[in-house]
Amino acid sequence: MAAGRFAYWRSDTKKDRYFNPIERILVLDTTTMEWSVFTAPFPAGESYCVADMPEHGGLCLFSSKEQCLQLWVRSSVGGWVLKKDFPLLNDWMKIRRAEWMKRVRVLAAKAGYVYMEFWSIRKANSYFLVLNMRTKKMSVFPNNAEDPQSLIEVQHFHSSCA
């Protein structure tokens, strides 16, 4: 998958006959044409994507945990450091009253936006979420066959989880 100047491949640990709980990421830096293998800072099977964010030192990871979006950056010693934690439920009362998040899947991060999808526990709906990293504003697009044009826009997405 492409992520700015990086191309990355997820490990197939969940498909392995002898499941390995470590998630490894194969990354190609297309500027230097150097290959790297990184160990993810979260367990295998978690939803994540790789991002190229020069403002955070280049290679970053976005993952989801317990309805929070997490931004991981490279440390000076080569590991990962949790830079930011964005709550996805606390300020999202319009949807929270009617539905509970079953699963959040991080799809991609590009040009200051993070794209995600989540499914409801109470209803058979899914939603496409777009978080503007600069303004912390979340746009929510319901995947609802009864009302495909509906859009809920949360004006102030507060990111005080961490």
Q: What digits encode the pLDDT tens for the residues 141-158?
A: 877 656 655 544 433 333
- Residue 61, judged by CB atoms within 10 A of its CB (0-12, 13-18, 19+), counts as buried
pTM: 0.77
Q: What is the mean pLDDT of the chain?
A: 77
Q: What digits encode the pLDDT tens for the residues 51-78?
A: 988 888 888 999 988 778 999 999 888 8
Band of pLDDT at residue 136, cut at 50, 70 and 90: confident
What pLDDT, on a 0 to 100 scale, did the predictor assign at position 35? 94
| 20, pLDDT greater than 70 | no
Query: Any residues with CB less than 8 A from the CB of 116 and at least 6 apart, and which?
Result: 64, 69, 88, 104, 105, 106, 107, 128, 129, 130, 131
